Amino acid sequence: MAKDKIIKSRFRSKSEHALDVKGRLNFPSRFREVLGQYGSDMLVLVIWKKHIRAYPISEWELMEDKLLDQGKEQPQLVKFVRLVLSSITECKPDKQGRILLPAALRSETGTGKDVVLTGMRDWVEIWDKDSWDVELQATRDHFDSFDKALSKLGIL
């Protein structure tokens, strides 16, 4: 008899927040609840393109292993892996549910006081509000360009 698979909640939806003067972000309670299902309240923050990604530590370790083990087979990824791994910061929400976004990560991604969080199932993206607005508008402007890929997935 197969063991029942434990189904975890997912990081979903979008919310807008303002960082405090120390660069702390109120990590939404719904996201903290999902994080708790991973068996640790530790997050890994990492630079990803124009935003910061926050992974539960167990999910990040899977990604890190892929990058380090399978990435060796793709020499063009060496610089990418170095950039991403050198930006890692581990953190956990404080008693008020806040996480500290280090100044170096904020600077590298152009993250100001106003941010947008987007749940992406296994991780959370943290965007500067203005960068998010630009990204969102570009996606809306090219929405029809997704039809072929969505059709391949059987969604259209």
Q: What type of residue is 148?
A: K
Which tokens is 147 given?
């039809």
Q: Residue 114 has what pLDDT?
A: 98
Q: Are strands 89-91 and 24-26 parallel, antiparallel or unpaired?
A: unpaired
Contact 45, 89 (CB under 8 A): yes
* pLDDT tens sequence for the chain (156 residues): 444 556 578 999 999 999 999 999 999 999 999 999 999 999 999 999 999 999 999 999 999 999 999 888 888 888 899 999 999 999 999 999 999 999 999 999 999 999 999 999 999 999 999 999 999 999 999 999 999 999 999 998
**CATH class of the domain whose range is 17-128:** alpha beta
Q: In whole angstroms, how far apart are CA 16 and each of 27, 36, 42, 134?
A: 10, 22, 22, 15
Residue 28, judged by CB atoms within 10 A of its CB (0-12, 13-18, 19+), counts as middle
Contact 11, 122 (CB under 8 A): yes
Q: Residue 66 has what pLDDT?
A: 93
DSSP-derived secondary structure letter, 121: B
This prediction's pTM = 0.90
Opening angle at CA 8, ends 155 and 87, nearest 5: 90
Q: How many Å apart are CA 120 and CA 134, to the nearest integer?
A: 19
Q: Residue 2 has what pLDDT?
A: 45
